[in-house]
Structures are given as structure tokens and as C-alpha cells.
Amino acid sequence: MKKVIIFCISQFFFFSLFSQSKISIIPQPVEVKITPGSFLLNSATAFHAEKGLTNIINIFNDHIGKSTGFKLKTVPNSGKNTISLEILSSPEIQLGTEGYRLQVTNESIRISANSPAGIFYGMQTLVQLLPSEIESKSQVKGTKWSIPAAQIMDKPRFAWRGLMFDVSRHFFTKEEVKAFIDNMARYKYNIMHFHLTDDQGWRIEIKSLPKLTEVGAWNVKKTGRFNYFSAPADDEPRDYGGFYTQEDMKEIIKYAQDRFVNIMPEVDVPGHSLAAIASYPDLSCTPGTYKVNSGEQFMNWYDGGFSAMIDNTLCPANEKVYTFLDKVFTEIAALFPFEYIHMGGDECAKNFWEQNAQIKELMKNQNLKDMHEVQAYFVGRVNNIISSKGKKMMGWDEILEGGLVKGASVMSWRGMKGGIEAAKKGHEVVMTPTTHVYLDYMQGDGAIEPPVYASLRLKKSYELDPVPTGVDPKLIKGTQGNIWTEQMFNNRHLEYMVWPRAFAVAEVAWSSKNSKNWEGFVGRVEDHFKRFNNADIKYAPSIYDPGINVKKDAKGKLLVDVETEINGLTIYYSFDNSFPDNYYPAYDGKSIEVPVDAAPMKLISYRNGKPIGRMMTISIEELKKRAK
């Protein structure tokens, strides 16, 4: 009998432990205690909450209503089968303004926080405790909407948890932007940095400058690989693109605010300004006829520098430019409630300025010794304009060059160096280094991914610590993933590029540093893949595909090694043009010798005897190139 009781107790613990594996929250909360039992959500479950939280309840109901087929009512009293949402009357200091407690028992659920934001984040966690079918866009029959009993305490590491969305290189509709915000909110992001202007399109209506959207929002539709397109003919229709009216933008801002996402607008100047110059050519130092770029090459990039083949810069020596910017920032500041406006400042080619008499005159008058100081003069003028509208200015780390203007905040993208320098000077910093958070880079090996000039795997994104040693951590506001959309022609490919790396960035931004655990994270990522499958959101399966490294031995023979980001994969390969499967040779940790007359190498990964990666093909020429 004793043995039977011990067996039953051990089974009970086994099953409660087993239920632990069902909890898979991204970003990882500060504290999770699993307790025995579960709460069953059904159509009789009701909310108990104060009026100010109705919006949050509506968003939850819209989310779960599609898959469950029911929406939860609100009742005056808490009790059995209720979800109570409680703003704490005496604040719990350790939760801060965005933290929450979530308690799930067999009978009821309680979320408490110091603010509605905390309640909202508790609700996002609650959704992630439901089975993955909750994400389905149509009603799911036969699933029990069971929530494991648990006690969770949670709060973010950083106040700035952002994604930058470039809608200039390719335009995304208002509905696509809202869907993007929905996904941000689910992973507790709170800032969408909206890159609204660039060489390929001006996307926000400025009522006092109508040509910006009549001319600047439109280019020629091209299909293929951006930056390699032929130049459009003069008579090709310029009908590709679009813009948000100020009414559209108000709707987007409200939608984001309801989900506790602030929107930081970026107007990228003085470089990246071809769309503005095509609209108002006398803003350039070299007035002429300009066209919005359609993805044909117009910049030269070389080791250690770049130059523009077409002048895409605003002219710092032209007073009309500052009148123009005053108009733009007056309307932008009135539209966007967020305290920061981003003025870009990155990658400004100086080759046209160097030749320009007006610039030479400006340098003499203002005692500017080089082009960096010319740009710093411009940034200073922009800072005055933005400050005069009651906003704080942020810029890419190039605004350090020539002297950083007082009060400016820096977004460090060329590594963390600029951020460190700015923080040491007492400026606020957001860390967005290319090395870890550039979500436009390929997520896997170039042999399988749509081509981009650089690669950034999930593991590397997960490894970021935004706070470098030797700086005041209070000045590091947080981090964000940057999504440049040159090669993202549609919403499905945007999703593919963003996920799963935006899981990693969310976790870097929210979760405590000491909770980091790559193996645990990847397990949760795979659980969230199931959620995305149900939600019909695309993501890159690149964690299942190997990276291919090549070297030459002393005799010049090509040797291939493969590496995987996750454990438990076996890589099979061929050199005879046939598709490898699990009957083929497998990589066993020793370099693979490439046969003399080999056909292109093909590879595929398997897990537990089943194919899980994609069939990859790499030419012998490419292997030779990599060996160099």
C-alpha cells in the first residue's frame, strides 16, 4: 500500500512537472512557479475589472474570440471562474510601471499591477499560457482551453523595447502596420520606430508640403533584387508606393497606444533624402531634376566609405532647408504624442557638398573645418527645430561626428562604440548594433536564404547584452531590432525576416540577464512556431539549416564543415546531384572532403529520423570562394 501511495505521489509530481513543459513564455518572465492543477477557460468565464481596463479586455476578447468562438463578459464581483484585473491601490514598488503578478488556480485567475500597462502585459502572458490553437483565426472545435495553474511575477529589464519598421523602401498598408503592432504587443515590445522617409519614398502626409506625397511617395514597381534593378525609363508609370494620411496615422497611433506601443517617427535627413528632393529639388545643394529611387543603384559602397552618384542630401547651407524642416517637424510633432523624434543622420554622402560653393561659404562663416562639422552644424539646427516643438531629438550614431549636440539621444548601430562614447558624455542611448539586431540580414546560410549582404543568426541576436561595461547603465535605455525593407517586397517576407529573431530581441529587452539560457529559449521558440502556424504568420525555419564552412588542406583539397545552431540535428549530404536523405552519408564532426569531379553539394538536416531542415544546394564555385 505504501508503495502504491508513493507511486501515486510520484506520478502526481511527474504530471505537475510535465505540465511545466507546457509553460512556454517569450519573453521569459522573472519568476514562474508552477502549482498543481489548471483553470479551464470557457464561455461562462467572466472578467471582473474596473472600467478603465475595458479596452484591454476588448483586445483580449478579439484575440481569443476567433479561435474559441466566445467572448468573456464582465461581472461586478470576482469569484469562481473569473479573471480579476486589479490596479493595486497601494503600489508594489518592485513591479515598477510595467510589471505584473499573474496567479492562476483551478478556480480563478488574478492579474495585478501598478498600471494598465502591467495588466496588459499580464494578459499577454495569459494568452501564451493557453494552448497554441488559441492563435487560430477560425473557430477550433474540441480543444480544452486549459491554463496551467501558476504564480508569475514579471517586469521588464529595459524601458525601451523596440522594433524599427522601414516603410519607405517598401510601403506597407495601414492594416499590415496594425498586424505588425499586434505581434509586437504580444511579445511585450513597447516602441515602434517608424522609418517614414528615405530615398525610395516619403510616407507621411505633410499638409503644408503636398508634393512630398504627390511626388515623393511614388516610384516604379520593379521585381527581383533591390539595388540591382535597371534604371526606370522616363515614361514608366510612377504608381508604386503609397503614404499614410494624417488621419491614417492618427488611427495607427491610437491602435498602438491601446496596445501600450509608442510610435517614434523618423524623418531621415540630411542623407537618405532623395524622395524629399524629387518633390522639392531646390532643397539640394545641386538643384536639378530628381526622381524617387526605384531600387536602381545610386550609391557606391566600398571598403571604409561610400559616395553618392546622385545627390540625395539636403543642403546644410540653404536656409530654405530649415524652413522646410520647420514645417515638417511642426506637423510631425503635433501628430505623434511620443516624446522623441528621430532625425536619422546616418550615411550622409559628402561628395556633392565637398564640391559646393555654398558649403564652402558656410564653412568660412561658421568656422567649420570639415564635412563632419558641416553635418554637425546641420544636426544642431535640426535639434533647435525639434526642441522648439517640445520634443527630444534622437539620431543614428553618425550624429557624434563633428561634435554631439547637447541633449541629443543616440541610437548606436555601427556596433556599440558610438553608444559607449555617447553614454560616457552623459547622453541617453539605445543600442541597436548591426552585429545583433539587424533583422534585414539573412538568418541562415546564404546557400538557402534570400540574398542579403550579411548574415545574423538567431543565436547571435539572443547573445546581445545592451549594457557594455564601463558606462552608466541608467543611460542605456534599451534595445531594438531594425527592419530595413529593401529586400522585403511583401508582408509575408517581412514576417519571415522578423521572426524568430524578434523573439530573441524581445527577450534581450525584457528578461533579466541572469535568466538567459539558449537551450531553454530555443525550446520555447519551437513552441511559438506552433502558435505562428496556427496564426498563419510566416517565420524563418533557419535554425534547422546548417551553416557551411569551407577550408583548403595543404594540398589544396576543399574541406567542408557544417555547424548547427541547435542540438540534435544530423546533416546528410551528396555530391552527385541527387537529393540526400537519411540513407546518405552524415556529417560526423570530421571535415568532408569534396570529390575532385563533384557536382554541387546538397545537404539536409534530420531530427529523430525525420527531415526538418530545407534541401540546400551550394555550387562548387561557391565552396571555392568561401575557402579563400
Q: Which residues are catalytic?
A: 198, 272, 347
The answer to whether the Cα torsion of 433, 436, 439, 445 is positive or negative is positive
Residue list 191-230, contact with ligand ACM (CB under 6 A) = none
Q: How far apart are CA 606 and CA 619, in angstroms?
A: 22
Q: How far is the CB of 394 from ligand ACM (least distance, A)?
A: 12
Measured from the CB atom, the residue of 168 and 443 that comes closer to ligand ACM is 168
Look at the block and give the residue holding cell 479561435: 67
Q: What are the beta bridge partners of residue 308?
A: 299
Look at the block and give the residue holding cell 515623393: 216
Cis peptide before 500 (omega within 30 of 0): yes
Measured from the CB atom, the residue of 346 and 527 that comes closer to ligand ACM is 346
Q: How far apart are CA 191 and CA 48, in angstroms?
A: 29
Measured from the CB atom, the residue of 396 and 587 that comes closer to ligand ACM is 396
Site string for ligand ACM, 484-523 (x = CB under 6 A): ----------------------------------------
Q: Which of 92, 176, 347, 421 binds ligand ACM (CB under 6 A)?
A: 347
What is the Cα gyration radius of the chain?
27
Contact 422, 429 (CB under 8 A): yes
Closest CA to 421 of 491, 470, 358: 470
Q: How far apart are CA 115 and CA 579, in angstroms?
A: 56
**Cβ–Cβ contacts within 10 Å for residue 596, how many?**
7
- List of E strands, 398-455: 409-412, 429-431
Q: How far is the CB of 379 from ligand ACM (least distance, A)?
A: 15
Q: What are the beta bridge partners of residue 113?
A: 87
The cell numbers describing 616, all together, are 540546400
Q: How far is the CB of 178 from ligand ACM (least distance, A)?
A: 25
Closest CA to 447 of 626, 263, 293: 626
Look at the block and give the residue holding cell 469562481: 80
Q: How far is the CB of 577 from ligand ACM (least distance, A)?
A: 40
Q: How far is the CB of 454 from ligand ACM (least distance, A)?
A: 11
**566-581 in b/e burial notation, b at 16+ Cβ within 10 A?**
beebbbbbbbeeeebe
| DSSP H helices in 207-291 | 211-214, 246-258, 274-279
Reduced to 3 states, what is the DSSP secondary structure of residue 236?
coil
Measured from the CB atom, the residue of 211 and 414 that comes closer to ligand ACM is 414
Measured from the CB atom, the residue of 226 and 606 that comes closer to ligand ACM is 226
Contact 439, 458 (CB under 8 A): no
Measured from the CB atom, the residue of 232 and 419 that comes closer to ligand ACM is 419
- List of E strands, 11-158: 31-40, 46-49, 73-74, 82-87, 100-104, 109-113, 146-154
- Residue number, nearest CB to ligand ACM: 346
Residue list 246-305, contact with ligand ACM (CB under 6 A) = none
Direct distance between the N- and C-terminal alpha carbons of the chain, in angstroms, rounded to an integer: 71
Closest CA to 374 of 386, 361, 388: 361
Residue list 589-628, contact with ligand ACM (CB under 6 A) = none
Q: How far is the CB of 271 from ligand ACM (least distance, A)?
A: 9
Q: How far is the CB of 398 from ligand ACM (least distance, A)?
A: 8
What amino acid occupies position 136? S
What is the maximal distance between C-alpha atoms in the chain? 98
Measured from the CB atom, the residue of 340 and 413 that comes closer to ligand ACM is 413
Closest CA to 275 of 173, 165, 199, 389: 199
Contact 64, 82 (CB under 8 A): no
Site string for ligand ACM, 392-421 (x = CB under 6 A): ----x----------------x--------
Q: How far apart are CA 275 and CA 234, in angstroms?
A: 16
Q: How far is the CB of 598 from ligand ACM (least distance, A)?
A: 39
> Site size for ligand ACM, by CB under 6 A?
4
Measured from the CB atom, the residue of 394 and 508 that comes closer to ligand ACM is 394
Measured from the CB atom, the residue of 86 and 347 that comes closer to ligand ACM is 347
Q: How far apart are CA 228 and CA 223, in angstroms?
A: 10
Q: How far apart are CA 527 and CA 520, in angstroms?
A: 11
Does the protein bind ligand ACM through residue 346 (CB under 6 A)? yes
Measured from the CB atom, the residue of 419 and 580 that comes closer to ligand ACM is 419
Look at the block and give the residue holding cell 535605455: 477
> Burial of 457 by CB count in 10 Å (0-12 exposed, 13-18 middle, 19+ buried)?
buried
Measured from the CB atom, the residue of 45 and 200 that comes closer to ligand ACM is 200
- Give the CA count within 13 Å in the CB-facing half-sphere of 321: 23
Interacting residues toward ligand ACM by CB under 6 A: 346-347, 396, 413
